[in-house]
Structure 1
Amino acid sequence: MNEKSSVQKNKELLSSFSKKTFAIIIPILFVLDIVAMIYFNLQGGDATALVGGTAIFILLLITLAGHKRKALEETTKYLIEGLQFGFRVFGPVIPIAAFFYLGGDDFQGMIGNFLPKTSQGIVNDLGIALANLVPLTNEIGAVTVSGVGIITGLDGSGFSGLSLVGSVANLFSHGSEAGAATLTSLGQIMAIWVGGGTIIPWALIPAAAICGVDPFELARRNLIPVIIGIVVTTILAMFLL
């Protein structure tokens, strides 16, 4: 009941005109961020700082319009609530992410230099071994590239294994005269579908927390549609090769 009354109270802080004004201003500010990133070639931390600074600026504007004299005090409260929400949402991710980072390139930095010099991380080595154990035919190539994409997506990132997927696709394209572009696209789709936030719970945590649903339940409900999509896409790729 307290949360409902708080939400209702916050809705009444801004007038209808203010809401419409901010609905126009906010997209414009973020579009300007995109323009600034392109023009000044901002990447990584610089781009993140720009977007984050814009978000805080918008928060200040809205708080000033809604709370007037208590704007600074309320802004501090909103920032604290946001940080608490962030820790509550991403807290479970830390041990899970640490486990899966062990299978990536960060193994040596976390554990030590125990892997062979040619190793690309346990997960990536597993994908390479899978690619080297199968015969080089178009059909097997499509299935293998899909498998490699799925394996590299298990860390919850849809992009970390794209370099490995490209290498495996290139291997099969030379060995079986298959289309390298088709195989690469197939592997990218699998990696992004699995690791980009569909059936891996730790990749779903941010969206699930914002929507107030259980990430494991969301992943369970996504499982069958995503598996069907993976199978159909892989079969279609076989005909395109």
Structure 2
Amino acid sequence: MGIDLNALHWVYLVFVLLIILVMIMRRDTTLVCIVGIFVLGLLAKNSLYQSIIGIFNSMVFAITELLGTILVISIIVAMSKVLTRTGINEVMISPFAKLIRSPSLAYWVIGMVMMGISWFFWPSPAVALLGAVLLPVALRVGLPALGVAMAMNLFGHGIALSGDFIIQGAPKLTADAAGIAVNQVVAASIPLVFIMGAVTTISAFWLLKRDMKNGLIPLENRSGEKKDQELSTDSGNKSPVRKEALTPQSKKLLAVIVPVLFAFDVVTMYFARLQGGDATALIGGTSIFILILIAVISHRNDSLEEITAYLIEGFQFGFKVFGPVIPIAAFFYLGDSAFIKIFGEVLPQNSQGLVNDLGIALANTVPINAAIGAITLTTVGAITGLDGSGFSGISLAGSVAHLFANSIGSGIATLTALGQIAAIWVGGGTLVPWALIPAAAICGVNPFDLARRNLIPVLIGLAITTIAAIFLI
């Protein structure tokens, strides 16, 4: 069935290309997205005031779609704050510290623990939970701080965040843009995430060991006490909890209760078949319960005020992270059903949405196959990650995946997952230097040095993962 493309389609395509160009230039895309929404509104309604209204309404639509994700991340960060300041995180991690007897064990144990915690807490809070305890242990057994930062980056900001199987913030964004269910993206991403993870972490470990053997990476002899002190307090909180606020017995008990509650969530998800928003809501509700429980026990009389203070910190973090995401999501949502909701029935009668129309037109003019589609999605995903967010461009990856899947005739979930993985591995905290700052700062290494160490392993991983995706489409 032919689609009559009009000015709206071409303007949308031009702004998509402009957004990619701006990302390549490592500049922020917010202005381009807002101008794009305005121009589309002007063409659709031929009215200045209605196009201005469309800018606001499109952002309202985007925030409404993303609100659950923003909320759960904010709550989890708030919970991680109280775990860190009460010292419960140290007790939770201490059993793993006993397993670290060599540099190799330090790399793999830190990486695996980071991955597990990041699935539930997301990587940035997980870095804080792990850094204070395991960095000094790793340094003592001979793993350089750069190696610790690599392990936390590749396993946390790489494997855990690119799949995001538990919180499902990333799959939600890409699935919405691609017009498919979240569980489809999660299922398609499982083999790709683990192929990417295995190839990248193994190659990174081999290169690290080689350079350590050749003396190219200096070994540090730092105890990490200063970092531990810095992580246990927060200058932004007016009344940080002293670690002595809880007895050792209370810390041990709560350190058992917290993972048990999350394990219960995982079991519940499996047997109740909870996915997407329901699974996210279960994690979020459990996190609120944990936050309240620990705050009440540790703060006692001040708990009412402190619970509010922790939530405020969490929301500040959540909206700071998603601030760049909302305008670009607002633009890319216009490629699908949001356009009609914002600007009305102004597309051609047989239109299936701007992105779908472009995909059908492309299928009728350009020979697209699985190989070209996979390579393109990896490239687009990587480019969108250049802004250092990892999340701000994955809506674009979902839209492009939809476009190419229409041309190929299959593989939309695989292509969407591939674009998501590429975007987050590049921009989520493994390659772009300004996205590496949390792990680099905690480990006391230069973020540019960390980015250079990660570059070759990540590129190898992306190449092999793209080849694997070709056979899965």
Global fold match (TM > 0.5): yes
Matching residue within 415, 422, 431 for 1:187: 415
Note if contact 1:166-1:184 (Cα within 8 Å) is conserved in structure 2: yes
Asked if 1:3 is matched to 2:231, the reply is: no
CA distance in 2: counterparts of 1:71 and 1:40, whole angstroms: 34
Deviation of residue 78 (structure 1)?
1.3
How far apart, CA to CA, are the structure 2 residues paired with 1:127 and 1:150? 18
**How many Å apart are 1:168 and its aligned residue?**
3.9
CA contact (8 A) 2:414 2:469 kept: yes
**Secondary structure of the structure 1 residue equivalent to 2:355:** helix
Number of residue pairs the alignment of both structures matches: 216
> In angstroms, what is the RMSD of aligned CA positions?
4.4
1:200-233 Cα shifts (integer Å, max 9, x gaps): 67xxxxxx599489xxx99xx5888766655555
Q: Is the 8 A contact 1:145 1:168 kept in 2?
A: no
Alignment partners' CA distance in 1, 2:469 and 2:248: 52
2:373 corresponds to = 144
Identity in percent: 46
Length-normalised TM-score, structure 1: 0.64
Contact kept? 1:26, 1:58, Cα under 8 Å:
yes
What amino acid is aligned across from residue 394 of structure 2 in structure 1?
G
**Which structure exhibits the higher relative contact order, with contacts defined as CA atoms closer than 8 Å and separated by 6 or more residues?**
2
Measured against aligned partners, the alpha-carbon deviations of 1:65-121 in whole angstroms (never above 9, x if no partner) come to 211222222112212222232223322322222122222332221222222344343
Report matched runs for 1:89-100 at 5 Å. 89-100=321-332
C-alpha displacement of 1:57 = 1.0
Is the 1:152–1:161 contact (alpha carbons within 8 Å) kept by the matching residues of 2?
no
Question: What letter corresponds to residue 343 of structure 2 in structure 1?
Answer: I
Hey, what's the Cα distance between the residues in 2 that align with 1:209 and 1:72?
A: 35
Alignment gaps of 5+ in structure 1? 172-182, 202-207
Asked if the contact 1:123/1:152 (under 8 Å) is kept, the reply is no
Matching of residues 156-171 of structure 1 within 5 Å: 156-157=394-395, 166-170=405-409
2:405–2:415 Cα contact (<8 Å) kept: yes
| Partner SS for 1:114 | coil
In the alignment, structure 1 residue 62 sits paired with structure 2 residue 294: yes
Work out whether residues 359 and 406 of structure 2, in 8 Å CA contact, stay in contact via their aligned partners in 1.
Answer: no
In structure 1, distance between residues paired with 2:339 and 2:456: 32
Q: Which residue of 1 aligns with 2:343?
A: 111
Question: After superposition, what is the alpha-carbon deviation per residue over 1:139-193, rounded to whole angstroms, capped at 9, x for unaligned?
Answer: x54113543676699652466776665554436xxxxxxxxxxx66862453222
| 2:335–2:353 CA contact under 8 A, matched in 1 | yes
Shift of 1:27: 1.5
Asked if 1:24 is matched to 2:256, the reply is yes
Which whole-Å deviations, capped at 9, do the CAs of 1:25-56 have from their partners, x for residues lacking one?
A: 11211121233334344445444333222111
CA, structure 1 residues 91+187, in 2 after alignment: closer, same or farther (shift >3 Å)?
closer
CA distance in structure 1 between the partners assigned to 2:336 and 2:379 by the alignment = 14
**Aligned in 2, Cα 1:239/1:193: closer, same or farther, shift over 3 Å?**
closer
Counterpart-to-counterpart distance in 2, 1:237 and 1:38: 27
Distance 1:188 1:211 in 2: 28
